[in-house]
Amino acid sequence: MEKPYNQFRAMMAIAKASFTAIWRSPSAVVFSIGFPLIFILVFGFVGGGGRLNVKIAFNPDSDTTNPVYQAMKQVPGFVVVRKTPAATNSDLEKGRITAVVSIHKNPDGNPAYKINIKSSEAVSQQNLQVFQSILRGIISNIDDGRNPDRQRIATVDQEVQTVKGRAYRTIDFILPGQLGFSLLSAGVFGVAFIFFNLRQTLVLKRFFATPINRTYIVLGEGISRVLFQLITAIIILGAGYFFFNFTLVHGLLTFIELIILSLIGLIVFMGFGFIVSGLAKNESSIPPFANLITLPQFLLAGTFFSIEAFPSWLQPICKVLPLTHLNDAMRNIAFEGAHLTDCLTQLAVLGGWGLFAYVVAIRVFRWE
């Protein structure tokens, strides 16, 4: 008696053949693994946890009417951060803010004000010393411009209050962004080119002559892409962790959650690849369609720097992009110690984009 056709075995055969073809494609390996690793190496060696600006915050109850406060706001090297006390303390513990400054009137009257500094173990000591030196210079300049007989304007408490913290290195920001963009590029460009070439070379048409169901054809190709990108994610995370001390707060658990998140992001981005494959009339039209999806996200989704650096009118657009939410979720899990259950907002946005992408893909995808 003839055995029934095994759809699952056929699907896995397609997945195996496609997976082998991906590894044999230099462009796939270079764009998915090579480029992200190059960026990670550059920022890993150059960044080293340094910061271009000295970020400070003021205690909410600080006196803001005095000349020291006004002068500190005018220093080009100081970036004044204005957040809630809880958010400020969180940033201080992670080394994102160099110091929290408290300025109060001195009950003794001389000097007129007392200044206290709170910093963290995660803060660059060089930045802290630079800040203290500039602050003392500001006070000295104000005193020199006043009548010598008048009281001194302020004194800085020599004892810096230090809180425990965990250093937030450049690699902790850059690596999730590079991993996210690798997944986006693979999901869009990889899927679009694969299915367009299968259609152009009549491979899909030959599949139709076999008993395999069309759904299993798509799943087979999808499985190969997912396996390849998960290996890419493992390589990128491993390189960051072992060579540049990329933070994985909960160790192996954090690593596993990042891989699961990578899988979710890749599945969403593959939907856009199916859309591009369906819309493209020829192979030369794939890059413009694909870049229309990937390039804005590469520039606006917080891949290299925080979206807070953009003008306020542009930030709402940045916050809508799916890559922004994938990057945020990865950074929250890797460094903040969050879990997937704490990233429901980001997952919901990704899910919404995924639903939209696959609904459109079903309408525009062509087999022949």
Predicted pLDDT at 252: 94
pLDDT at residue number 53? 64
Residue 282 confidence (pLDDT): 81
pLDDT classification of 40: cutoffs 50, 70, 90: low
**What is the model's pLDDT at position 35?**
58
Q: How confident is the model at residue 158 (pLDDT cuts 50, 70, 90)?
A: confident
Among 4-18, 117-131, 273-287, 320-334, where is mean pLDDT lowest? Answer: 4-18
pLDDT, tens digit, for every residue of 94-115? 777 888 999 888 877 777 788 8
Delimit the domains of the chain by residue range: 7-46+169-364, 54-163
Mean pLDDT of the chain: 81
Contact 269, 183 (CB under 8 A): yes
21/156: higher pLDDT: 156
The C-alpha atoms of residue 237 and residue 299 are separated, in whole angstroms, by: 22
Per-residue pLDDT for 207 more than 50?
yes
Q: Do the beta carbons of residue 354 and residue 268 sit within 8 Å?
A: yes
Average pLDDT over residues 184-207: 81
Q: In this predicted model, what pLDDT tens digit does every residue of 257-313 receive, in sequence order?
A: 999 999 999 999 999 998 998 888 888 888 888 888 888 888 888 887 778 777 888
CATH architecture of 54-163: 3-Layer(aba) Sandwich (3.40)
Query: Looking at residues 155-166, what average pLDDT do you find?
Result: 75
In terms of pLDDT, which residue wins out, 117 or 190?
117
Judged against a pLDDT cut of 50, whether residue 81 lies above it is answered with yes
Q: What are phi and psi of 308, to 5 degrees?
A: -65, -15
Confidence bin at 215 (pLDDT 50/70/90): confident
Alpha-carbon span 242 to 264, nearest angstrom? 25
Mean pLDDT of 142-149: 67
- What percentage of residues in the chain have a pLDDT greater than 70? 86
User: Residue type at 270?
Assistant: M
Q: What is the pLDDT of residue 27?
A: 57
Convert the chain into a string of H (helix), E (strand) and C (coil).
CCCCCCHHHHHHHHHHHHHHHHHCCHHHHHHHHHHHHHHHHHHHHHHCCCCCCEEEEECCCCCCCCHHHHHHHHCCCEEECCCCHHHHHHHHHCCCCCEEEEEEECCCCCCCEEEEEEEECCCCHHHHHHHHHHHHHHHHHHHHCCCCCCCCCEEECCCCEEECCCCCCHHHHHHHHHHHHHHHHHHHHHHHHHHHHHHHCCHHHHHHCCCCCHHHHHHHHHHHHHHHHHHHHHHHHHHHHHHHCCCCCCCHHHHHHHHHHHHHHHHHHHHHHHHHHHHCCCHHHHHHHHHHHHHHHHHHCCCCCCHHHCCCCCHHHHCCCHHHHHHHHHHHHHHHCCCHHHCHHHHHHHHHHHHHHHHHHHHHCCCC
